[in-house]
């Protein structure tokens, strides 16, 4: 197996997990940096729109590394999409596929079902709830919770921060509640 073939396949948890986990001590060692993606939007807004808004009045240049990190994620994702795409079909559990077929979801050719996430559905009630309202709730929850899932669950838990434990438990409970109670109702619309 070549290195390209190895990189193209899904990596097992025991390889990917420790690699993600190693970002925490690396960031702490190179300058006591905190891992998180949602803060980069604040840094970008403070850099691009220097208004007289107190939330954006801080030394954002000290956090330029975070913007470079996010740019690296974007470039890495683009390169992976162009050169490392896995040609195999997405594997979905048979029971889940049967359950989702009751809602008209049968296309698993992408990372998200095309029957829900497309431009035509954006103006439907189901699409509006899933894409617009859902996106707003993610953004609002990130700001209200003081960070995103990656910041709290990866960085916050590894540095033993109590608010991150509470936030991560709430993420998990919210995800369970959404997937099992709210999502079936929305898909049935």
The 10s digit of each residue's pLDDT in 143-177 is: 888 888 888 999 999 889 999 999 999 999 999 99
How many residues does this entry show for the chain? 189
What integer best gives the mean pLDDT of the chain? Answer: 88
Mean pLDDT confidence for 110-125: 87
Does 34 score more than 90 pLDDT? no
Does 42 score more than 80 pLDDT? yes
Percent of the chain topping pLDDT 70: 100
Mean pLDDT confidence for 72-93: 86
Which of helix, strand or coil describes residue 163?
Answer: helix
Cα 40 to chain centroid distance, Å, stands at: 13
Does 47 score more than 90 pLDDT? no
Residue (of 180, 182, 178) closest to 99 by Cα position: 180
Does 13 score more than 80 pLDDT? yes
pLDDT at 40: 87
Which residue did the predictor score with more confidence, 91 or 51? 91
Q: Is the dihedral of CA 141, 145, 148, 153 positive or negative?
A: negative
Q: Taking a C-beta distance cutoff of 8 angstroms, is the pair 142, 136 a contact?
A: no
Measured distance CA(34)–CA(26) in Å, rounded: 10
Q: Which two tokens stand for residue 102?
A: 């009751």
Asked which of 83-87, 116-120, 137-141 is least confident by mean pLDDT, the reply is: 83-87
pLDDT at 182: 95
């Amino acid at each position: 197996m070549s290195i390209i073939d190895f990189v193209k396949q899904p990596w097992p948890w025991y390889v990917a997990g420790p690699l993600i986990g190693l970002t925490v001590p690396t960031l702490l060692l190179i300058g006591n940096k905190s891992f998180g993606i949602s803060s980069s939007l604040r840094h970008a807004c403070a850099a691009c729109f220097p208004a007289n808004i107190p939330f954006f009045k801080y030394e954002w240049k000290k956090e330029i590394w975070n913007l470079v990190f996010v740019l690296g994620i974007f470039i890495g994702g683009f390169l992976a999409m162009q050169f490392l795409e896995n040609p195999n079909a997405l594997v979905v559990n048979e029971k889940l596929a049967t359950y989702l077929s009751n809602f008209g979801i049968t296309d698993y050719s992408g990372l998200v079902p095309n029957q829900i996430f497309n431009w035509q559905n954006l103006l439907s009630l189901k699409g509006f709830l899933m894409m617009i309202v859902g996106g707003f709730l993610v953004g609002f929850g990130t700001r209200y919770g003081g960070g995103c899932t990656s910041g709290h669950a990866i960085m916050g838990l590894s540095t033993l921060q109590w608010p991150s434990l509470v936030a991560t438990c709430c993420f998990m409970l919210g995800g369970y509640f959404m997937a099992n109670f709210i999502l079936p109702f929305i898909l049935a619309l």
